A and B are shown apart, each in its own frame.
Chain A
Amino acid sequence: MTSPTTSLAWERRRHTVARFWRGYRTHRAGLHGLAGLALIALLALAAPLIVGSDVQSVTEAPGTALEPPSAEFPLGTDQFGRSLLGLLIWGARISLLVGLLAAALSVAIGTLVGIIAGHYGGWFSTVVMRITDWFLVMPTLVLAIVLATVMSRSMWTVVLAIGVTSWPTTARLVRAQTIAVESRPYIERATALGGGHRHVMTRHVLPNVMPLVLAQTTLGISTAILTEATLAFLGLGDPTVVSWGGMLQDAREAGAVSSGHWWYLAPPGIAIALVALAFTLCGRAVESVLNPKLGVGR
């Protein structure tokens, strides 16, 4: 297409985004979630400037072990004398990254399985959905623990473990939506034009399940962050990087629970809860803007 057509197409997209934003703006909880996320994301991105990567270093720790909060260390220090505030900010990077990647992986698998099962139907769909059900009833955490144990200890293992265990919900939703879309006459028109399975799935079904997928991703991130924290807390995370779950585990190992070192335990826990809450609020707002029929409250 020539450039005027392309620029008009961009104009259209801009309008779509503007319309989405107008809808989103009416959700107060969603706005709060977004503001919280922006703040945390900014801190995580700016972490190398604020605290620097040597905050993780055990050998060059600036303080003594387990100092309570003070002017120099606002949240105190850990058992190696590292600044807990610095670790908390640095840990946001891993927690967010793992959360995003794992949610994206999980939703990608779920969408693929859902569309294929919904499109082909018949015995194929039945078999695929039975497998999905099997994953659905498996305790996700147990499965993730098994996966994280048998594979090498790295961040990617955690992403993979979360991704491959949490897709079934998305798969079920996407399958239902696919079946609804495929009953529309424009699918028959596409088939009569000569469009094959791939054409129908990518050109017609995918754009129509995207709103659902987008909402599902936002909601999935908070679950993924929680699971990452759990795995790290259980000692199945990557031991070479700092994450919020890992900090909790360190605190437990250092005996923070019994010795009353609350400054070691509380901040990572609160951070996890806040980020998960922020993503959930955003996800709910996105969902209700894109799928007004769901009737999600404001």
Chain B
Amino acid sequence: MSLLEVRDLRVTYGSGATAVPAVRGVDLTLEPGTKLGVAGESGCGKSTLALALLRLLPASARIEGEILLDGDDVLAMSWGRLRAVRWAGASIVFQGAMHSLNAVHRIGDQIAEPLLVHGRATPAAARARVGELLEHVGLPAARAAAYPHELSGGQRQRVMIAMALACDPRLIVADEPTTALDVMIQAQILRLIERLVAEQSISLLMISHDLAVLADTCDRLAVMYAGRVVEEGPARTVYEAASHPYGRALSSAFPRIGDPASRRAPRGLPGDPPDPADLPGGCTFHPRCPVAVDACAEHDQELREAGAGRRAACVHVGSTS
């Protein structure tokens, strides 16, 4: 059985005439011990998706569809069960570690909080566990006494990961875990996440706008555009030979150094990400698409088979192969 199965997830903010669809029918599957990357630009609904997985969205958001974690529907479960899932089933690592940590508490106390709240551990045991966790993420156990402002950006992100690990979750959802970090620190954090996932056979759902980072870290990739998955497949193939023109644009946005084709030739997409409140008709990508045909403005494209284990939502997929 899959660890996580998302079926036709739809999230709408507001209602009536001002309703803004953020996620418009997403299906995802994550097997135990595997890593799935979700790529897309700001406003494509990827962060909403992450929050929906743990039912962390504000009350104004209307959620439809199913989110099955170990076969249990997260959207339908009772509060008590949901809390148990949030502690031990899945945890989330947010971007911007400075804002997610409480500035007036020592980091050790913040990591120990979930352990103590549920009476799972005595204070002494919790303290020992905090030291263990900190060393696990590459920080000296003595740093438990530090306040968030005494740590650097990379160290804070390590603390966030230690917090996510505190209750031995089976799934970690990481929302832009390395954005705003330097290349070297980013590499350190990515290696750390990879190591932890491999050692403890945790599943990972990582969200980023950087396709190269996702391709390097994850097994499978899903590319989101305007609230939908437009391409899905094995990470390396999606990165190196995307079927959807949007996937291709994202993968060529970050150049490969040494590749003469990208030298003095930065590539991007014309136009801006669509406004979720005012999506174009037909295929939502057609106004920015370099290979759009007349039909794209008329007909929405569903995800379809695009080779072994791959799916893409483009009129050109399947017609040529």
Let me know if chains A and B touch directly in the complex, using CB atoms closer than 8 Å. no
